[in-house]
Every structure is written in C-alpha cells, then in structure tokens.
Amino acid sequence: MKLKLWEELIQYAEEQLDKYSANLVPEHRAQHPFHQADYVWATIVLPNFKGVLHHLIDGLEDLQHGFLPILRRMSSINNAAIAQGRDYPYDWREKVEKGAVEKYEAKEKIVLMRATNIYIASDYYTAQWDYKDLLEDEYVVGIDFPEHLPKYQFNTNIMVKTGESIMVTGIYRSIEPYSACNFMIKEEKMSAKHPEDWKLAPKVLSFETNPDLFTTPDTIENPIRVETTWILVEKVVEDGGSSSVFNEERISQKGGEK
C-alpha cells in the first residue's frame, strides 16, 4: 500500500497550514469557525487524516502475514477525504500560495485513485477496477516497475463459475472478451452461519463490443453484469513452471482459511 503518498499529502497540508496560521488577519476570529482553517484543520481534519494513517500502518503487519482482507481499510482514506470536502473547505491555501489548491487537488487525486483501486481489488463488493486508469502516467507516480516484467499464464486447472465458492486466492480473468480482471480472496462470507461457508465468485462487468471503438457519444455502450467462468492467472517462474500469485499456506494463517 502506498501509504507514503497519504503521509506526504498530510505533510504538505501541515506546511501550508503553518504558513497560513503565521499571517492571520485581525478579524480572523470574527469568522464562523467553519472558515477558521487554523482551528478546524489543526484540531479536526489533520488529526483525522493522521488517525487514518496510523490505522493503515497498524494493518501492515496483518497484511505481511497474508491477511488480505485488511486491504479494505484503504476505504478509510476516501472516507476521510469525503468528510473533509463536505465539512471543511481548503480554498484558504490560495492565501498562502497561488495555485496551492490545484496542487493539493492533484496530489489528493492520485492518493484517492490508488486507495480506491486497492480497496476495489479486495473484492468486498465484487467490483472490478479499470486497469486502463492504472496505466495512465499521472497515476504511476511513486511506482517502481521492475526492469523486466514477469510473464503470466492461465491455469485452466483452477476455474470457478459465478456462484461457486472461491477456493484459491488470486487474480482471475473472465472468459468474457471485453472485461477486466478481478482479484478474488478465499474467505468466509460475511455473517457466515457455519465454518467454510466460502465467499462466492461474482458476475463480471463486461461489454459486448470492444470499448476502444467507442469514439463518439452515440457509440458508447454501457457494461452489463453477466455470469461467467473465471480462470486463475499465474506467474510463470524461471524454471518453466508456474506459481500461484498468492501462497496458500501463507494466506491461510488468518481469515478462516484452511
């Protein structure tokens, strides 16, 4: 998880707030507290942002031990940003530095996109991420790609249909031609009534025709959810064999997996 980007956004906000607070106008305290950025950001917004950061850092140990559902905590970044945008404006930054609002929004956009994709990848709502968004230049900031990208192949021995139990954690590709991949986790259903009541494979969101052909408004097609068969995608190892994306023994330490 790219927590560093969230931490850097907090640090940038703190630096801007320090500059703003050092040059308050005489009538500043006469304003409604809503507009007193030095008060609401220092006592409410930033402490909330830092609380989210610490909450995510606390989850790293669980993630390192293979407890993948902890990825869902990334939604807390979006929730914190939504609450701030709803309750406390950040236009005060323009009084500190011209263009600061636009700069903050650009930083925040990258953080929220990353957090959203990680959260969606956890498959809580059986949603899919748009892989094309992940490859746009503005969203690859801070990502160090390896010199040689690994090769992947389908493991047709591990396939699961919509409505069947997910028995192997990993990245799956639908047999539908115009659809994205989905990261599915073997885990018990929420509110499972008995052990090994595993989560079921979802439908896939797909297009009937190639989305790249949608060049004008009248050619745009809305995707639909359809039942499908999912095929596990595995990384090809150097000796010619294959390796599951996630080690089953490692991820079975938590979350009810056996």
Judge whether residue 247 has pLDDT over 80.
no
Token representation of residue 132? 């094309």
Alpha helix positions (H), 65-213:
75-87, 100-121, 131-134
For the stretch 214-234, pLDDT in tens is 777 777 788 888 999 999 999
Task: Say if residue 126's pLDDT is above 60.
Answer: no
More confidently predicted of 181 and 256:
181
11: its two tokens: 């640090």
Q: Is 62 helix (H, G, I), strand (E, B) or coil?
A: helix
pLDDT of residue 248: 43
Q: Is the pLDDT of residue 242 over 60?
A: no
* pLDDT over 50 at 246, yes or no: no
Residue 249 has pLDDT above 50, yes or no: no
For 201, other C-beta atoms within 10 Å of its C-beta total 25
Mean model confidence pLDDT for the chain: 80
Q: What would the pLDDT profile of 151-177 be if each residue is shown by its tens digit?
A: 889 999 999 999 999 999 888 999 998
pLDDT of amino acid 116 = 79
Position with higher pLDDT, 142 vs 161:
161
Report which secondary-structure segment, H or E, holds 13.
helix 3-21
Place of tokens 């991820």: 251
CA dist 253 and 133 (Å) reads 33
DSSP state for residue 159 in the 8-state scheme: E
State percent of the chain over pLDDT 90: 34
For residue 182, the model assigns a pLDDT of 84
Are residues 258 and 189 in contact, defined by beta-carbon separation less than 8 angstroms?
A: no
What is the pLDDT at residue 151? 86
- How does DSSP classify residue 47? H
Higher local confidence (pLDDT), 129 or 174: 174
User: Structure tokens of 52?
Assistant: 């989210």
CA 71, distance to chain mean position in Å, is: 8
Q: What is the DSSP string of 165-201?
A: B--S-EEEEESSSEE--EEE---BPTT-SSTT-BPBP
- Average pLDDT (32-55) is 91
- Burial group, residue 154, by CB count within 10 angstroms (0-12, 13-18, 19+): middle
